[in-house]
Structure 1
């Protein structure tokens, strides 16, 4: 970690401005003056460079170039949106390749942190630019801590031989404080356009950033609802009172271009490689519910012209069975990749926007809050639930009678017809149930569908809520996580054990259990 942190500020000069948007795609390193004598100090940048720093932080905090090893081979599989179809990847069988997971860890510390800290140093806390940077700091780091638990947080970006890890409850406390302060500032800046078009999510729309920040605050409040229900209630009610996302027009979608592979939609870039397909879990839900989103989420399998999925955790021998091959299972939707007419030929759609946060999520968070007895604004748990479905359908282009029929659907999930002859994943319908137990499962299931394709958030919610129900992996090669259980976290990375050993050893005591994939995080309580 000391190596990563010490290099991170210097890497600002190397990475900033590279391939973020067409207007900032050309390297701007030649515009920088030479570095100060200090090896860890950055040069003084022109204010014209600051928007590029923000663009880089946005990109690297969510859809960085190493999307496959940073997300797809871990959280996307743990959430069971997809299953791998290649025998070469053991991660679907719970093997954690520690060299791969560096692709999740490194971009935050080497690229997001230096960009944002530079912005913090050059803008006053009462500016809109500072507020947006603080919101993105929380977004980036909540995805980090929800992977590992304790992480270097308060001292991130400070050059030192050893950088301490912080307990997750302390990190979450800072998240809430940052979001509250940022929204307070932004409420007085609604006519400004901070960072302009370099803001590749909302193009400087302060009102949308306020709703994004409040929805993130609501997300984090529900995350801690089992371990700190009083704080969760306070934060959730404040978030809703401040205004959360309410329509698909407010969805946080990040502009991607085909200027370079670093700027492409990460999911699109890997979809043509033939290494994953729809999971059997997803098939069971989508087919059973006659879900119109299936045609947007996925494409018919090339060989069968039908929508098909396979179980997670299949062995190399099982993966070569006909039902489990690429041509017999569904790739992701044509929004990201298109078949050229042959089973192996796929054309990437690099420039499609990346999904950061959908308004539908806010409704499902409010449903759960309402069931908890919290003030979630005008509406009932049932109305929030149905509004959440409508918002998700709108995100994917559906409205009207088809959506009404879905909301009132009484059919349960179906057996996927996979090679394992799996039963239906659940027996609950879409139509709002009569008991709280059924309702909570319905909320978790519909939220999981609405979060697609954000496997990071979906995996976190599966761990926290226990929903939706998922199939056990068929095979596990991780001695700490048998097939009867689900993976709980990513262990501390090897590079940290080598370069920041004392801090990592101290962090284990903050974890509340051994440094294993089976140890639940602070907020993950039954």
Structure 2
């Protein structure tokens, strides 16, 4: 038995040696992914849709989520701390840098192939993404970013560039993009992979110049001479987005990864029902009889009706066309599908209770227990509030490519409002009223209400009064689902005149996102220099420099918004 055991040990050893030798000979072959593609062989046509879709989805996600809450387009009645109360602690920018890495490879491949289209498009998208990063956080890795493959500690742990350096770089890259696109050809470009413009080089050039207008206006207080010269030159060229058909947008595709309000009702109905109109926005829309109101928001499901004859504060049932029903609420779907033509009401005694009796009602910003607001009989996180306006029915159904539900990156309306503001400053860009009126008309066209323009613009509160507040208020309205731009305008000018709600940690609207924990954990030396450059305000609170209420460079030395 001992000899047999020894033989087995020897045999196992020899067998293992053979396996090891065989593996060693084929080690390189095994470690090669037969389906992988070397970066130097990457097809920029295949990189393009990843960059475009991710950038647009990230932007619209901001526009209907936390920044929509910040500019008081919407509020939430569940999971609302970030949306309603500026709870933005430790906000990661990893997703934006992921987009930039793919985009950087696309730019390099464009250079390798001497293809001006991919280079110009890549620089445009690089500017857009870095613009969002510095808009929202302030200083960030820029000149040393996206170079981790080059080795060196300075690239593994990149320094934070000042916001001024980043904005200057964005403008320089966009100027180069406009030049490249001016001589670009669509040859070699798969038009179907260009999710914004289907390979239309002229529209890409308009897009790049329109982004330049956006960032020149960002700098209009800090570098007025640079901003004025840039805006006037673009206006003179005529190469910018002039019609909603030229807007930079991503169509709804119906995929589960689309960042759309409507996908919540398909994948997460409770999530969809968390979105409520903000009363600040409702007041603006109803006060001016804005025809976009019914496109964006639904009326309350059950309207309160005052009745001083009641012996109780409220009825404990609702009425259908005036007739009592033995229930106080219905599920959301029952209202939409079964009772679309029924007028539901509920009565209350105004001497015993106080409710908003309007047909369109929003949640006031940052209130206590928003899920119970206005007498909701079934409060709870993510449940319907039949006495507050939710999003319009268009957002509760799956859309189709080409309809009005799009991720809108920049629009003709925004460009017109930029020119209106520039004209008000005395810059040589035409007439402020003409641009203001055009911006309103373009926004109405975008949302299918173009036929109402003549009546709408003739209202006393809408007719141009030569004020910056009026221009930026209408720009704020037009920025629905693109709230990042109104957020930037508010911080730069103080308009529209927003007021923080009672449960906001500070009595002012927040200004920026806090840096993410990854930066503190992995790049602590460099983040400290960025923190030193933030201006601590009276509202920075216990966070110190890295507070939502600290001022980055763009707003330092100004008294706006506070």
User: Which of the residues 307, 326, 333 maps onto 2:385?
Assistant: 326
CA distance in 2, matches of 1:405, 1:88: 37
- The answer to whether the aligner puts 1:373 opposite 2:426 as a matched pair is yes
Show the counterpart of 1:444. 472
CA distance in 2, matches of 1:80, 1:195: 40
1:158-307 correspondence runs (5 A): 158-159=147-148, 160-189=155-184, 194-242=189-237, 243-259=239-255, 261-262=256-257, 264-270=258-264, 272=269, 273=271, 274-304=273-303, 306-307=359-360
User: Which of the residues 365, 368, 371 maps onto 1:315?
Assistant: 368
Show the counterpart of 1:63. 57
CA distance in 1, matches of 2:121, 2:100: 14
Q: Secondary structure at the residue paired with 1:203?
A: coil
The offset of 1:349, in angstroms, is 3.8
Pair 1:53–1:190, CA change in 2 (3 A)? closer
- Contact kept, 8 Å, 1:192 with 1:204, in 2: the verdict is no
- The answer to whether the aligner puts 1:93 opposite 2:124 as a matched pair is no
CA RMSD across the alignment: 2.4
* TM-score normalised by the chain length of structure 1: 0.78
Show the counterpart of 1:386. 437
- The answer to whether the aligner puts 1:121 opposite 2:173 as a matched pair is no
CA distance in 1, matches of 2:283, 2:106: 46
Q: Secondary structure at the residue paired with 1:320?
A: helix
Pair 1:188–1:254, CA change in 2 (3 A)? same
CA distance in 2, matches of 1:315, 1:97: 20
Pair 1:192–1:34, CA change in 2 (3 A)? closer
Deviation digits for residues 209-251 of structure 1 (CA, Å, limit 9, x no counterpart): 1111111111111111111111111221222233211111112
Q: Secondary structure at the residue paired with 1:83?
A: strand
The offset of 1:170, in angstroms, is 0.6
- Contact kept, 8 Å, 1:149 with 1:521, in 2: the verdict is yes
CA distance in 1, matches of 2:289, 2:462: 10
- The answer to whether the aligner puts 1:80 opposite 2:133 as a matched pair is no
Show the counterpart of 2:549. 518
CA distance in 2, matches of 1:132, 1:399: 31
CA distance in 1, matches of 2:230, 2:251: 30
- Contact kept, 8 Å, 2:89 with 2:513, in 1: the verdict is no
The offset of 1:87, in angstroms, is 5.6
Pair 1:368–1:152, CA change in 2 (3 A)? same
CA distance in 1, matches of 2:103, 2:76: 35
- Contact kept, 8 Å, 2:60 with 2:482, in 1: the verdict is no
Pair 1:82–1:34, CA change in 2 (3 A)? same
Show the counterpart of 1:335. 394
CA distance in 1, matches of 2:103, 2:520: 26
Q: Secondary structure at the residue paired with 1:326?
A: coil
The offset of 1:521, in angstroms, is 2.6
The offset of 1:44, in angstroms, is 3.2
Pair 1:32–1:179, CA change in 2 (3 A)? farther
Pair 1:136–1:395, CA change in 2 (3 A)? same
- Contact kept, 8 Å, 2:60 with 2:408, in 1: the verdict is no
Larger Rg: 2
> Is 245-254 or 181-190 further displaced after alignment?
181-190
Show the counterpart of 2:509. 486
- Contact kept, 8 Å, 1:139 with 1:216, in 2: the verdict is yes
CA distance in 1, matches of 2:188, 2:277: 40
The offset of 1:204, in angstroms, is 1.1
Deviation digits for residues 335-376 of structure 1 (CA, Å, limit 9, x no counterpart): 322xxxxxxxxx444864322222111110001111112121
- Contact kept, 8 Å, 1:176 with 1:217, in 2: the verdict is yes
The offset of 1:192, in angstroms, is 5.0
> Is 242-251 or 278-287 further displaced after alignment?
242-251
The offset of 1:90, in angstroms, is 5.0
* TM-score normalised by the chain length of structure 2: 0.73
> Is 145-154 or 353-362 further displaced after alignment?
353-362
Pair 1:173–1:354, CA change in 2 (3 A)? same
Q: Which runs of 5+ in 2 are unaligned?
A: 1-31, 149-154, 304-342, 344-358, 377-383, 537-544
Q: Secondary structure at the residue paired with 2:276?
A: strand
Deviation digits for residues 150-171 of structure 1 (CA, Å, limit 9, x no counterpart): 0111222222441211111111
Pair 1:59–1:228, CA change in 2 (3 A)? same
- The answer to whether the aligner puts 1:406 opposite 2:456 as a matched pair is yes
User: Which of the residues 94, 98, 101 maps onto 1:106?
Assistant: 94
- Contact kept, 8 Å, 2:203 with 2:246, in 1: the verdict is yes
Show the counterpart of 1:420. none
Show the counterpart of 1:499. 522
- Contact kept, 8 Å, 1:117 with 1:157, in 2: the verdict is yes
Q: Secondary structure at the residue paired with 1:314?
A: coil
- The answer to whether the aligner puts 1:154 opposite 2:143 as a matched pair is yes
User: Which of the residues 31, 49, 53 maps onto 2:47?
Assistant: 53
Pair 1:363–1:192, CA change in 2 (3 A)? farther
Q: Which runs of 5+ in 1 are unaligned?
A: 1-30, 36-41, 338-346, 411-428
- Contact kept, 8 Å, 1:193 with 1:206, in 2: the verdict is no
